[in-house]
């Protein structure tokens, strides 16, 4: 993806009962397909399917259960949609089946640390992969506190190490994307997530497409001015974070509210490139 390419919108499709924002809304194949079709119509250029919640209060999901949730949905989406499908998993067996079913990218919150077989699966399939920063090596972030002197520098150092590791495992350089992580994946202090968003130019300097996923996350509850907001009231905060990410050249923004965030991205792109905006003159 070229540096001057416009930001793409990735719709989050959680086929889980316990995701913090949309849990239970797409737990059947039919409901998942219907939701994904709405995303596509609203402007999503990727659909990211996840069968295991990763928040600090979520529970482990067995391989069999994650497979049951994810694989039939991906098969149906590949038949019904035109946009490409990503699978959000840290299990190599789930990724292997998802890629065989038609997914083309693996979004692994552990940056391929949780399952030693994941890098081989991605390499063998010739798939793309998103490597995300997380302070913990597991597939589930914890509430363990952490302090950073330079959070963006820490994120970049981590991503460099993981890039080197997956390249040595045979994953093509052109298929690597990076996600700096936000919210509890980084730490309890919301300041760190804001510092990452402000410093995305340093992440982009790594030379890989950057994926940013701020959607309704807990750090957006704290803006230093208003009382903390529940997830239901974080749409505007999400929009601000998406606008900043798009302005700074993020390749993909990963969001729940596709319709609203596609409008945000389109507006940012129009500001960046006003000469490309189609216009008409009323008679």
Over residues 23-46, the pLDDT tens digits come to 555 568 999 999 999 999 999 999
pLDDT at res. 25? 59
Q: Between helices 92-101 and 118-125, what is the axis angle to 10°? A: 20
Q: Look up the pTM and report it.
A: 0.91
Which pLDDT band holds residue 282 (cuts at 50, 70, 90)?
Answer: very low
Q: Pairing mode, if any, of strands 46-50 and 252-255? A: unpaired
Catalytic (active-site) positions: 217, 254
**Cβ neighbour number for residue 8 with a 10 Å cutoff:** 21
Q: What is the percent of the chain where pLDDT is above 90? A: 77
Q: What is the pLDDT of residues 187-243, one digit of tens each?
A: 989 999 999 999 999 999 999 999 999 999 989 999 888 888 888 889 999 999 999
Mean pLDDT, rounded, of the chain: 91
- Residue pair 211/202 in contact (Cβ under 8 Å)? The answer is no
Q: Which residues contact 176 (CB under 8 A, 6 or more apart)?
A: 128, 129, 131, 163, 166, 167, 208
């Amino acid at each position: 993806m070229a540096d001057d390419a416009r930001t793409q919108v990735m719709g989050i499709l959680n086929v889980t009962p316990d995701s913090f924002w949309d849990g239970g809304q797409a737990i059947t194949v039919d409901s998942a397909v219907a939701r994904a079709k709405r995303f596509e119509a609203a402007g999503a250029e990727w659909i990211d399917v996840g069968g295991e919640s990763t928040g600090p209060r979520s529970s482990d999901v067995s391989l069999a259960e994650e497979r049951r949730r994810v694989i039939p949905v991906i098969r149906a989406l590949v038949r019904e949609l035109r946009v490409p499908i990503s699978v959000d998993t840290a299990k190599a067996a789930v990724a292997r089946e998802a890629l065989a079913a038609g997914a083309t990218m693996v979004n692994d919150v552990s940056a391929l640390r949780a399952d030693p077989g994941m890098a081989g699966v991605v390499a063998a399939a010739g798939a793309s992969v998103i490597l995300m920063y997380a302070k913990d090596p597991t597939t589930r972030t914890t509430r363990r506190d952490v302090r950073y002197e330079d959070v963006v520098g820490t994120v970049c150092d981590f991503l460099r190490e993981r890039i080197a590791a997956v390249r040595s495992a045979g994953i093509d350089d052109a298929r690597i994307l990076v996600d700096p992580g936000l919210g509890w994946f980084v730490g309890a202090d919301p300041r760190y997530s804001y510092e990452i968003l402000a410093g995305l130019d340093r992440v982009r300097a790594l030379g890989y497409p950057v994926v940013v996923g701020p959607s309704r996350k807990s750090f957006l509850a704290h803006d230093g001015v208003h009382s903390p907001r529940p997830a239901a009231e974080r749409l505007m905060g999400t929009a601000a974070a998406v606008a900043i990410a798009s302005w700074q050249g993020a390749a993909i923004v990963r969001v729940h509210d596709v319709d609203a965030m596609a409008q945000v991205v389109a507006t940012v792109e129009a500001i960046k490139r006003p000469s490309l905006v189609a216009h008409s003159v009323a008679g």
